Structure formats: C-alpha cells, structure tokens
Amino acid sequence: MFFRGFLREFKIENEAITGGIYSSVVPTLNPILERMFQDWFKIEAIRVHYQMKLPFSISYPRPYEIGADRLVNAAACVIDSPGKFIIIDLGTATTFCVVSEKPEYLGGVIAPGLKVSMDALTRNTSQLPPIVFQSPEKILGDSTIESIQAGFFFGWIGLLEGIIREIKKDKGQDYRVIGTGGLVTVIDAAHPGIFDKIDPLLTLRGLQILHQMNS
C-alpha cells in the first residue's frame, strides 16, 4: 500500500506513530482506515465530522452533509488568520466554502472537479484524445488538443471568477479568497489575481489543528 511505502521512504517506524486523524468522504472506507490505525499503530484514530470540536460554528440546516474535507480546510483558515474567507479546493470536486468573521461556516458551492470533467470528456467522445491540463498560449487552438486545453483552462477561469463574484455580491466584497488543491498552483501561476492566497498544504494543516483540538 502507498502508506506503507511512505513510512519506509522516510524511515518511520510504526511505534513512532502515537496519534492519528483522517478525513473521509467515502463512508465504506472508514472501517478499513480505522482497522489500519488499530492493526499497524495500536491507536484509535480520530474521524473528522461535524459534531467534533471545531474552531467555528456551523450555520447549515443539515450539517451532517458537509464533507469532512471542507471542515478541515475551514479549520485551517480560521486558526491561521481569522477573517472572512471563500475557500476554494480544486480536488475531485471543485468546492467553495464561505466562512464569516464570527467565525461561522455559512455554506458553499460544489461544482465538478476539473480532472473528473476532463476524463469524462475524453471517455465519452470517440475522437477526442486525453490531455494534460495547462495554460494555453492563446484562446483559439490550432489543433484538437490545443482547443480542448483552451476550453478547460478558460472555462475553469470563468467558473472560478463567476462564482466568486456571485458570492461576494451576496455576502460582501471583503471576503479573502484562499485556494488549495492539486491544480491551484497551475491556475495561479498562469492567471494570477483569482486567489488572495494559495496554500497547497491547507488540508494537512487543518487535520493537524483538528487532531490537537480533539485529542
């Protein structure tokens, strides 16, 4: 497994692990993860959920529907630098989470993930090749691959800017936009100005914060 390889790579002995926390949005995996912590490290891992100690309140009619990853990201932002945030995570889904200055989790927006959308396009069309997401040199492509790259890049820029604009129109212009997720550095480098701050390690720091709060 990847996790075993990671421990070997960094020469970490099982006995050195004295605490654990995990964030899962696939409930069927939870028992497997818990058994892994028990069998390998002899510890009871903490599962991220809305009823645990959080550094913010939740203004949400059905808080049990909030993804654990969104709670983790919000925790990191609130502890790192309190304020008003729009947190964008470019993962399997593209999520927007809004946290007020109180701090209070107000809700958010969920859009398709970029890679999921790219894979769906090439999987469901017979003549379109798989592509790598990158910034195109121009809006009009001279080939099928360049055209797809332009569509996804500028389409996602439009999606991000459009949703941010609508959230600020509804909640106020003084919300800082924090970006995280696998492709955030690519988008920020090619089209700076969308995010006030990018933090690829936001989720990991949020896990650390919630572990400290709930141990």
Q: Which residues are catalytic?
A: 69
Say whether 144 counts as a known binding-site residue. yes
Say whether 6 counts as a known binding-site residue. yes
Say whether 41 counts as a known binding-site residue. no
Q: In DSSP terms, which residues pair with 87 in a beta bridge?
A: 97, 178
What tokens appear for 92 in the block? 């399997």
Say whether 182 counts as a known binding-site residue. no
The whole-angstrom separation of Cα 153 and Cα 191 is: 10
Helix (H) or strand (E) holding 98: strand 93-99
Collapsed DSSP state (helix, strand, coil) of residue 178 = strand
Say whether 161 counts as a known binding-site residue. no
Say whether 12 counts as a known binding-site residue. yes
Q: What is the DSSP letter of 194?
A: S
Say whether 13 counts as a known binding-site residue. yes
The closest of 21, 12, 10 to 76, measured between CA atoms, is: 21
Say whether 120 counts as a known binding-site residue. no
Say whether 196 counts as a known binding-site residue. no
- CA distance from start to end of the chain: 27
Say whether 11 counts as a known binding-site residue. yes
Cα–Cα–Cα angle for 141, 95, 77, nearest 5°? 120
What is the β-pairing status of strands 93-99 and 85-90? antiparallel
Give the residue numbers of the binding site for K(+): 89
Give the residue numbers of the binding site: 6-13, 60, 67-70, 89, 92, 144
Give the residue numbers of the binding site for substrate: 60, 67-70, 144
Give the residue numbers of the binding site for ATP: 6-13, 92
